[in-house]
Amino acid sequence: MKTLVVYYSNSGRTRCVAETIARELSADIEEIEEKRPRPTYRRGNGEKTGGGGIARAAGAAVLGLGSGIKKATHSVADYDMVIVGTPVWAGSVSPAARSYLKQQKKSLPQVAFFCTRKGEATPRIFKQMGALAGKEPIATASVAADDVNSGAYEADVSTLTARLRGEK
């Protein structure tokens, strides 16, 4: 199955998970890039940088706003499955991932989703992503930021990739 992993990441955790999924599935990978790059927010690991930017970013996410993103380099129509990943921002999908899903909605093949988050798992994020994609995901994974930091996230990734291979 030809698979593409697409992700937005601000401080690197969602990228780390995306790269591991892509490696396990021998998938292609694409980063969603914003036209106006943001500072790196560190809220996930306790350091607070970015000042009011974090509040604005969270506000945009919770209001359901998108952001200007660069043109995608891979055509989703060339794939059998697209796996989309985002950090959780204010309990919601990030603006960049929102914009990507909206842009690609018409051409998406079957989809799977993952997110990284600092707090409790928020199943509603996958409902949001499914609504934006216009289809239900065949599998999802919600990965704790602390598990990305410690390496424990690989178990979540293995569960997701096994499900996608039809093993579980």
Instruction: Tell me which residues touch ligand FMN (CB under 6 A).
Output: 9-15, 41, 43-44, 54, 57-58, 87-91, 116-119, 145
The least CB distance from residue 76 to ligand FMN, in Å, is 21
Q: Are 128 and 93 in contact (CB under 8 A)?
A: yes
The least CB distance from residue 102 to ligand FMN, in Å, is 20
Torsion angles phi and psi, residue 126, rounded to 5:
-75, -30
The least CB distance from residue 119 to ligand FMN, in Å, is 3
Q: What is the rounded CA–CA span in Å between residue 153 and residue 150?
A: 8
Closer residue to ligand FMN (CB): 55 or 77: 55
Q: Which residue is nearest to ligand FMN (CB)?
A: 44
For residue 47, the tally of other CB atoms under 10 A from its CB is 11
Closer residue to ligand FMN (CB): 90 or 138: 90
CA torsion 42-44-48-53 (nearest 10°) is 70
